[in-house]
Amino acid sequence: MKQGTSIVLISCICFFYLTNLVSAKQRYSLDNFIVKENLIKNNKLAIIACDSLDEPTDQLNGTFLFVINGFKQQLSFSEGVAISPHEIDKSSFVFLKHKNEHGTHSKLYYVLKNDDGLKPIKINWVFLLLVPLAIVFVATIYKRLIFLAIIALIAFFYFNYNKGLSFEGLFETVAAGIKSFF
């Protein structure tokens, strides 16, 4: 009886040891993130790893490759937070993209800089699609407004381009949004 009990006890200890090893080796992938101002207010952005409900998670550690406004950056995450290496000196668009084994994850933010610091505002892909479509729609209904619509479209695209949003970032954001919709 004692020998059977000790075999069961040793088997349980080995099982718990192996499951602990497997769970310690479990890798967390970066499938969602949000952008906030760095806590020390040094004009840098903090990229925060999140779950699917946009709740921050502190279980992510390691270095991940991001593309920030077209430039590749290695960001080091510690307890779910990484700091962008570049300071933001004026209000601008920031397009972040991360690719892993689960797909490409990209987000577009307009970072508003004022005296209080940085305020990242997430730009929805629907907005980028609806504004030009609404201008074209109004212009087709009211033929006299075609000239004003053309000027409004040029101003819209110029503002986006002037604030750091490339046409590639614009189209990639809309394409990713449409792909996630279906």
pLDDT in tens, 53-107: 888 888 889 898 998 888 888 999 999 999 988 888 888 888 888 888 878 888 8
What is the average pLDDT score of the chain?
A: 79
Nearest to 51 by CA among 23, 75, 73, 28: 28
Question: Residue 140: its pLDDT value, please?
Answer: 83
Number of domains, the chain = 2
Do 64 and 75 lie in a common domain? yes
Q: Is 83:66 a contact under the CB 8 Å cutoff?
A: no
65: phi then psi, degrees, rounded to nearest 5: -90, 125
Of residues 146 and 34, the one with the higher pLDDT is 34
Q: What six digits make up the tokens of 30? A: 């970066």
Query: Among 92, 122, 152, which residue terminates a domain?
Result: 122
CA 46/CA 34 separation, integer angstroms? 8
Which of the listed residues 122, 142, 169 is the one where a domain comes to its end? 122
- Single pTM value for the model: 0.72
**Domain co-membership, 141 together with 78:** no
Q: What is the pLDDT of residue 47?
A: 92
* Residues 142, 105 share a domain: no
Residues counted in the chain: 182
> At residue 4, does pLDDT exceed 70?
no
Share of the chain above pLDDT 70, in %: 82
Please determine, for residue 11, whether its predicted confidence score (pLDDT) is greater than 70. no
What CATH number did the domain enclosing 47 receive?
2.60.40
Determine the Cα–Cα distance for residues 168 and 172; give it in Å rounded to an integer.
6
